[in-house]
Amino acid sequence: MKIGIIGLGFVGLSFAAVLGSKGFSVIGFDNNKKKIEKINSKKPPFFEPKLELFLKKALAKSLEISSDVQKVVKKCDFIFLTVGTPKLKSGHIDLSMLKNASKDIGTSLRYSQKKPIIVVKSTVVPGTTINTIRQIIEKSSGGKNGNGFNIVTNPEFLKEGSAIEDTLNPHLVVIGGLNKKSINRLRSFYQELYGPKIKIMITNPQTAEMIKYANNSFLATKISFINQISSLCQSIPGINIDEIADAIGVDPRIGKQFLKAGPGYGGSCLPKDLSTIIEFSSKIGTNPVLLKAVQQTNDLQIKQIVQLIEKKLKSVKNKRITILGLSFKENTDDVRESRSTELIKTLLRKNSKITVHDPMAMKNMESIFTNKITYANSLSEALENSQCVVIMTPWKVYTKLKNSDFQKMEKKLIVDTRRILSGKNLNAEYLALGLGLN
């Protein structure tokens, strides 16, 4: 059994590295030559905990990296499509990479004896696997789904920052297919990978596609819910949002995860998937009022942070403000749709002077803001002469901050959007989202 993986981003490369490390025979494909070079030199093209280790193991065992899609199609029994489906400026989903990959697979199928199972892992709106991807592959291959190839939807639930852990131990595998034989073959593959006890749900492709959006929409809803309660807490002296989250999280009907109030959800998935599903709902004639409110609540978080700063500094114009944490969450260098980006944009519009620090994401941020902001070489440099520091990403290094670290600030004002310093006795003015002001 040979596995092909088309698209070596977070999902594809983590999957390839885990499969290869376990000795599965894998060919990973990407059309970005620079990326291929980097991966072949045993270096992941982005930071992800444990990925380098697993990649090294996989390359030493049974992972081959290629930029030849024909080779993948000729040799592989399963071809996983893991290319990105980002958001266009217009807000629509960008299917161009998926369409191109489908066309390339279809064209290569013309010259191949194999009848592969093509597994769509990329996030796509309901109907895309059948109405778009299948049609493109049928047209370019001259074959028919169920005959020359079989197409199956198999959404992915891994999180950045724990991509390897999640790939090793998924809570569920969803298989959406049209014919029993291909569903059973994919089920057997996953049972071989994860053991017979792995929870597998079988459904049709459009339901599988919708499960992914429902999952991410629910996670975003939980975050916006707790952020809304957090905003309420803000004006009640002495109240603490984390105690509230801990208490309601004990109720098994609610659950404790994704109840951490903060600056809002960012990243390449939740914001994009919310926009896409809202757009899709409107297109089919429903009004997703709840999901729109989730999005609006998320946007309000940044406004609230700015208001907090303005309340203390009167105006932010020409004030030196330090932002700690640029990645959309800890343990990643990914700054896509990071809340810090939104905060910096807002503060720059108000003519603040911004200095930033992040243990991993400085380079990625530099490509967005170039010379409009100052990039500190160290935490102490970031805080020196600052008139306000805003903690945006809960990196471990920031949880260790202590009084002496704030010594050189011109005005000791700390705005902690994740409450990571809330238990400390700080010799500074300390404001935090979700902690009622006294």
Which residues are catalytic, by number? 269
Token couple for 90: 């217009």
The residue within the footprint of ligand UGA, chosen from 176, 177, 262, 359 (CB under 6 A), is 262
The residue within the footprint of ligand UGA, chosen from 69, 158, 388, 414 (CB under 6 A), is 158
φ, ψ dihedrals at 368, nearest 5°: -95, -50
DSSP string, 127-192: THIIIIIHHHHHHHHS--BTTTBEEEE------TTSHHHHHHS-S-EEEEESSHHHHHHHHHHHHH
Confirm or reject binding of residue 270 to ligand UGA (CB under 6 A).
Answer: yes
Which residue, among 63, 76, 52, has the nearest Cα to 22 in the 3D structure? 63
The residue within the footprint of ligand UGA, chosen from 260, 320, 357, 419 (CB under 6 A), is 260
Three-state DSSP class for 201? Answer: strand
Cβ(167)–Cβ(15) below 8 Å: yes
Confirm or reject binding of residue 46 to ligand UGA (CB under 6 A).
Answer: no
Show the CA angle centred on residue 238, arms to residues 232 and 242, nearest 5°. Answer: 65
Residue type, 237: P
3-state helix, strand, coil in the chain (%, to 5): 45, 15, 40
**Residue 216 CB, nearest approach to ligand UGA (Å):** 5
Contacts to ligand UGA from residues 123-142, by CB under 6 A: 123
**Residue 262 CB, nearest approach to ligand UGA (Å):** 4
138 or 160: CB nearest ligand UGA: 160
Confirm or reject binding of residue 319 to ligand UGA (CB under 6 A).
Answer: no
**Residue 164 CB, nearest approach to ligand UGA (Å):** 13
Stretch near ligand UGA under the rule CB under 6 A, chosen from 29-37, 152-160, 288-296, 425-433:
152-160
**Residue 114 CB, nearest approach to ligand UGA (Å):** 29
4 or 266: CB nearest ligand UGA: 266
Confirm or reject binding of residue 9 to ligand UGA (CB under 6 A).
Answer: no
**Residue 263 CB, nearest approach to ligand UGA (Å):** 7
* Size of residue set near ligand UGA by CB under 6 A: 20
Contacts to ligand UGA from residues 213-232, by CB under 6 A: 216, 219, 223
Residue type, 347: L
Contacts to ligand UGA from residues 67-96, by CB under 6 A: none
60 or 172: CB nearest ligand UGA: 172
29 or 328: CB nearest ligand UGA: 328
Confirm or reject binding of residue 412 to ligand UGA (CB under 6 A).
Answer: no
Give CA–CA dist 289/270, Å, rounded: 17
The residue within the footprint of ligand UGA, chosen from 259, 309, 388, 389 (CB under 6 A), is 259
Token couple for 369: 């803001």
Stretch near ligand UGA under the rule CB under 6 A, chosen from 17-25, 156-164, 309-317, 343-351:
156-164
Site string for ligand UGA, 327-366 (x = CB under 6 A): -xx-------------------------------------
What per-residue string of b and e applies to 177-215 under the rule 16 or more CB within 10 Å gives b?
bbeeebbebbbebeeebeeeebebebbbbbebbbbbbee
Confirm or reject binding of residue 398 to ligand UGA (CB under 6 A).
Answer: no
C-alpha separations of 132 from 31, 126, 381 in Å:
21, 11, 52
The residue within the footprint of ligand UGA, chosen from 265, 375, 395, 430 (CB under 6 A), is 265
Cβ(258)–Cβ(223) below 8 Å: yes
Please tell me what DSSP assigns to residue 75. Answer: H
Rg (CA), the chain: 24
104 or 330: CB nearest ligand UGA: 330
Cβ-based burial of 41 (10 A; exposed 0-12, middle 13-18, buried ≥19) = exposed
Stretch near ligand UGA under the rule CB under 6 A, chosen from 129-137, 157-165, 307-315, 429-437:
157-165
Confirm or reject binding of residue 208 to ligand UGA (CB under 6 A).
Answer: no
Which residues are CB-contacts of 169 (< 8 A; sequence separation ≥ 6)? none
DSSP string, 284-295: TT---HHHHHHH
Confirm or reject binding of residue 233 to ligand UGA (CB under 6 A).
Answer: no
Sites of contact with ligand UGA (CB under 6 A): 123, 156-160, 216, 219, 223, 258-260, 262, 265-267, 269-270, 328-329
